[in-house]
Structure 1
Amino acid sequence: MSSFLKLPIGLALATTIAVFSGCSEQKKPQAVEVLRPVKVAEIAAADEGRSLVYSGAVRARKQMDLGFRVAGKITERLVDVGERVKPGTVLARLDAVDLELAVRRAEADLASADKQVEISALARRRAENLASKNIAPQAELEQSVLSADQALSARQSALSALEQARNQVAYAELKSDVTGIVTGVSAEAGQVVSAGAPVISVAVDGEKEIEIAVPENDIAQFRPGKAVKASFWSYRNLTLDGTVREVSGSANTQSRTFAVRVSLPDDEKLRLGMTGMVTARTDGEVAAFSVPLAAVTEKDGKKIVWIVDKAKGTVHSRVVTVSGFADDGVRIAEGVKPGETVVAAGTQFMAEDMKVKVPGAATAEAQDSTQAAPQGADRS
């Protein structure tokens, strides 16, 4: 009786253990492969060399600082910045009272000189008459001739002084000699200025250019005649072919940069003062591919990048040849091709054939799982 009862209980226990072990095997989680997310960059087409980009302002090739040819007090200024002027346009005037008084004095001096010429001429004729009759000595005749000549010279001097005084009065008006635009005003009405001091600045119509400041480490790349490209913030789609016209022979004492002037072709869209960007290519450099600085690392003493195999979702290293640096990263001469994808950050964590999570692929997986979810729900 006891043995009969023990047998079913043992079988029951064995059956229970088998059931629980089966459940535990079904509930045992499967190992999930970890994908390391990475930041990637796609290799673009090779460039022609390192780009040198500097900004400057559009200016007229010729700009004149106009000033009075005489000193005096400004009584009125007739133009403002931005106004167009042409030859003969009066820009400003001086107080000409003293200058007009000088004209009157010169006129009086000329009148006096004219009288002196008449008197010396009468004396000369009288001396010649007396000398012809042997009444007066020859020395008296010579003296009268000399006095007459001196009177003529004094009259010519007085005439020149009068013309000069009249010119001084004309110089009291500052007139433009060119066609252009007023770009600056350096003096106002009521201010006393010296002769030649700048009063009005005028940008002459015609050729325009951009002046840029280039540091000494890049100035060797600029020379007169070098072809460059010019773009403008005001017109994103406007790009002009420029030419380096002039390179300063000395650096600015404060900024330690060299002034470079780039001539621009005539275009109706260009306005003085517009901000322009001058782009130049370095000379003597081979074509190369630009990658982020963090994409290049070192392995076994060689420069490498990690290439992403999008189909397999893995990475593998590749030796590359670095040719230099670009404004946005490193330039690679050999080792990569356009269209390939490289790891742009976190290269220190990479290993050969490591599974990675590429941003584009992750998005695709998420979309697939989203589309698959309703189907699974229907089956349940």
Structure 2
Amino acid sequence: MNNRLIHNFFISCSLLLLTSVTGCSGREPDRPSDATQRITQVSLLTPSVKTITRSFSYPAEIRARSSSMLSFRVDGLVEHIEKTPGEHVQKGELLMKLDQADYHDNLRVLQAELKGAQARADKALQDFRRAQELRNEDVISQADYDGAKSAHASAAAAVEHLGARVSLARHQLEYTRLYAPYHATVTGQMVEEHELVRAGQPVMSVHDISTLEVECHVPENDIARLKPARGMKALVTLPSFQKKVFEASLQEWSTSADKTLRTYAMRFSLPAPEHVTILPGMTAHINISAEQAEQHVLLPHRAITSDASGSPAVWLYEPSSGTITMRNISTGKMVDEKHIHVTAGLDGKEQIVEPNAHFFTEGMNVTPRETEPRGGER
């Protein structure tokens, strides 16, 4: 009897304890907690799509727009040098002259010969006219007439020949003077006064430095990205003037690569600065900015998370279902302090969920707070 009462008592206590535990721990399984309710609201942002401007930098060399090695067209003795290296000259200004004595003498001799030949030609003409009249009257033979005619033609040819020699002598006399072919600066002098020079021997060099050329060589991998076009702008710096930047414009470029270096030559025009002396042969650096043809997607780095394998990814918001889904992306370099270049995975039209300290799951229902401006700027 006592044992039965004790047994019933334990059964009653066990049922009471079980009921109490169940009542304390029971809750509705589908009802979210306060913490869950807090993370259903998320911040959205939209990537920015921009055309990336890339700068290409190359070593360069300053060259004169026009550069000439000058020489005399005749032999002679250098009589006087009018201009020396460093001097600026105008077009047509005298630079150097040879002794003209021999050329003057030669011209006078030829002029005298021409005068005599002209006199003989005049007499031959008179003889021919007289012979023509006599032949018409049948006073002289045909042979005498032909002789007078031939003498006249020969004398006229001699005059023409000597006239050409006199003209050549005058030109040779003029060639004893060396003049500037254009506005330029004398950059070199190869002979001294009283030296004997030959025709065609370089005696002086001049450069037109009113406008300079900046020449650089572009690797074949870059030439297509640059898309050369006449007038393309570039910035030029020189080690001699580190704080100064000069603007140049593209004038010409080669369309075939150097067979050894596999580079393409580009020449930029640079107007000579007024208060800075830039000379041919100086080294320089040239910066060329070129717009890329393709559009690039930029995203704030704070919007990028990673998947289970550690690969970069983002959470996308699906407006139609109100859920989020993860998408893997590929990233490039940082564009600035906040943005990174997304090379694959986004087209710039998606709505990105900004990750926070809470845990997101695939297909999770969320409520957007407010869509941030493009690029996620704050």
TM-score, normalised by the number of residues in structure 2: 0.57
Alignment partners' CA distance in 2, 1:180 and 1:228: 26
Letter in 2 for 1:284: A
Alignment partners' CA distance in 1, 2:119 and 2:255: 61
Alignment partners' CA distance in 2, 1:179 and 1:92: 16
Alignment partners' CA distance in 2, 1:250 and 1:186: 36
Per the alignment, in what secondary structure is the counterpart of residue 50 of structure 1? Answer: strand
Trace 1:322-333 onto structure 2 (pairs within 5 A): 322-323=331-332, 333=341
- The root-mean-square deviation of aligned C-alpha atoms, in Å, is 3.8
Tell me the equivalent position of 1:310. Answer: none
Q: How many matched pairs?
A: 264
Tell me the equivalent position of 1:70. Answer: 74
Per the alignment, in what secondary structure is the counterpart of residue 61 of structure 1? Answer: strand
Per the alignment, in what secondary structure is the counterpart of residue 151 of structure 1? Answer: helix
Alignment partners' CA distance in 2, 1:219 and 1:187: 44
Tell me the equivalent position of 1:223. Answer: 228
Tell me the equivalent position of 2:253. Answer: 247
Q: Retained in 2: the 8 A contact 1:225–1:244?
A: yes
Trace 1:277-316 onto structure 2 (pairs within 5 A): 277-282=285-290, 283-284=292-293, 300=309, 302=311
When residues 243 and 320 of structure 1 are mapped into structure 2, their CA distance, relative to the original with a 3 A threshold, is farther
More strand by share: 2
Letter in 2 for 1:172: T
* Corresponding residue to 1:54 among 55, 58, 61: 58
Alignment partners' CA distance in 2, 1:50 and 1:257: 19
Letter in 2 for 1:247: W
Alignment partners' CA distance in 1, 2:75 and 2:264: 36
Tell me the equivalent position of 1:161. Answer: 165
When residues 325 and 58 of structure 1 are mapped into structure 2, their CA distance, relative to the original with a 3 A threshold, is farther
**Deviation for aligned residue 1:253:** 6.5
Alignment partners' CA distance in 1, 2:104 and 2:262: 50
Per the alignment, in what secondary structure is the counterpart of residue 87 of structure 1? Answer: coil
When residues 226 and 163 of structure 1 are mapped into structure 2, their CA distance, relative to the original with a 3 A threshold, is closer
* Corresponding residue to 1:264 among 235, 250, 270: 270
Letter in 2 for 1:94: L
Per the alignment, in what secondary structure is the counterpart of residue 278 of structure 1? Answer: strand
**Deviation for aligned residue 1:244:** 1.4
Q: Retained in 2: the 8 A contact 1:211–1:259?
A: yes
**Deviation for aligned residue 1:245:** 0.9
Alignment partners' CA distance in 1, 2:220 and 2:334: 18
Alignment partners' CA distance in 1, 2:312 and 2:244: 40
Question: Are 2:216 and 1:212 aligned?
Answer: yes
Tell me the equivalent position of 1:84. Answer: 88
Tell me the equivalent position of 1:124. Answer: 128
**Deviation for aligned residue 1:139:** 4.1
Letter in 2 for 1:67: S
Q: Retained in 1: the 8 A contact 2:76–2:197?
A: yes
When residues 189 and 54 of structure 1 are mapped into structure 2, their CA distance, relative to the original with a 3 A threshold, is farther
Letter in 2 for 1:334: V
Q: Retained in 1: the 8 A contact 2:95–2:179?
A: yes
When residues 260 and 303 of structure 1 are mapped into structure 2, their CA distance, relative to the original with a 3 A threshold, is farther
Question: Are 2:145 and 1:141 aligned?
Answer: yes
Letter in 1 for 2:230: G
More helix by share: 1
Tell me the equivalent position of 2:207. Answer: 203
Residues 215-256 of structure 1: per-residue CA shift (max 9 Å, x gap): 333333352326232233355554444321111344556755
Tell me the equivalent position of 1:294. Answer: none
When residues 246 and 128 of structure 1 are mapped into structure 2, their CA distance, relative to the original with a 3 A threshold, is same
Residues 285-313 of structure 1: per-residue CA shift (max 9 Å, x gap): 65699xxxxxxxxx958479xxxxxxxxx
Letter in 1 for 2:187: T
Per the alignment, in what secondary structure is the counterpart of residue 272 of structure 1? Answer: coil
Letter in 2 for 1:232: T
Letter in 2 for 1:219: I
**Deviation for aligned residue 1:97:** 4.5
Q: Retained in 2: the 8 A contact 1:59–1:272?
A: no
TM-score, normalised by the number of residues in structure 1: 0.57
Q: Retained in 2: the 8 A contact 1:215–1:258?
A: yes
Alignment partners' CA distance in 2, 1:173 and 1:104: 19
Q: Which structure 1 residue ranges, 4+ long, deviate > 6 Å from structure 2?
A: none
Gaps of 5+ in 2: 1-49, 299-307, 314-327, 344-378
Alignment partners' CA distance in 2, 1:238 and 1:109: 67
